[in-house]
Amino acid sequence: MRQGPAARMAGPGVRDRLSGVRFPFMHPLLMVGLGGAAGSILRYWLGGLVQHRLEATGFPAGTLAVNLLGCFAIGALSGVVETRHAFSPDLRLLLGAGLLGGFTTFSAFGNETINLLRAGHSGLAATNVVSSVVLGLGLAGLGRLATSALLR
C-alpha cells in the first residue's frame, strides 16, 4: 500500500526516502521554521502598517505594537495550553516558537518573566528584565561601535 506524504512524515522523525535513516530533529525544525516564516512576514507587514500611519511622530510605534501584540498573543496561547491542555506539541511549536518567535522574541521574554513571577522567583524575574533591557541596549550600542570601527 502506498503512503501519502503526511503518513511518511508521521512518527518520531522524518525518514530520508533513499537511505531509510531517521532524522528526528527535522519535524520540530520544520514546525518552527514554517511558523517563523509566517510570523516574520506578519511582523514586517503589521509593523510597517502601524509605522506608516504614525510616521510623523518619529517613535518606533510599529515595533512597539508588534512587541505588545506578541506579548498578549503568547500570554493567551500559554493560558489556553495551561487551562485547557489544548494544542498538540506540534501545533505549540508552530504557534509558540515558530509564529510568535518569528513575530517577536519580545513575547518570549515577556512570557518567561511572567512564568518566573508566577513561580515565586521575583528576583530572577527582575534580573531577567534588567539584564535583558540594560545588556540588550548596551550590546546593541557595542555592536554599532564595533561595526563602525571595523568599517572605517
Let me know if residue 29 belongs to a domain. yes
Let me know if residue 12 belongs to a domain. no
Cα 91 to chain centroid distance, Å, stands at 14
Predicted local distance difference test score (pLDDT) of residue 4:
44
> pTM of the prediction?
0.69
Segments forming the whole domain that contains residue 62: 19-104
Nearest one of 151, 150, 146, 81 to 111, comparing CA atoms: 81
Let me know if residue 131 belongs to a domain. no
C-beta separation of 97 from 35 below 8 A: yes
Let me know if residue 25 belongs to a domain. yes
Amino acid at 36: G
What the block records as the C-alpha cell of 85 is: 491542555
Amino acid at 14: V
**What's the CA gap between 18 and 90, in Å, rounded?**
25
Let me know if residue 91 belongs to a domain. yes
Q: Residue 98, exposed/middle/buried by CB under 10 A (0-12, 13-18, 19+)?
A: buried
Let me know if residue 43 belongs to a domain. yes
pLDDT of the chain along its 152 residues, tens only? 444 444 344 444 444 444 454 556 678 999 999 999 999 999 999 999 999 999 888 888 998 899 999 999 998 998 888 888 888 888 999 999 999 999 987 888 898 899 999 999 999 999 999 999 999 899 888 988 988 888 87
Phi, psi of 4 (to 5 degrees): -80, 175
Let me know if residue 114 belongs to a domain. no
What the block records as the C-alpha cell of 41 is: 512576514
Measured distance between the N- and C-terminal CA atoms of the chain, rounded to whole angstroms? 65
Let me know if residue 121 belongs to a domain. no
**What's the CA gap between 74 and 14, in Å, rounded?**
28
Q: How many domains in the chain? A: 1
Please state, in angstroms and as integers, the Cα–Cα distance from residue 19 to each residue in 10, 15, 118, following that order: 17, 8, 47
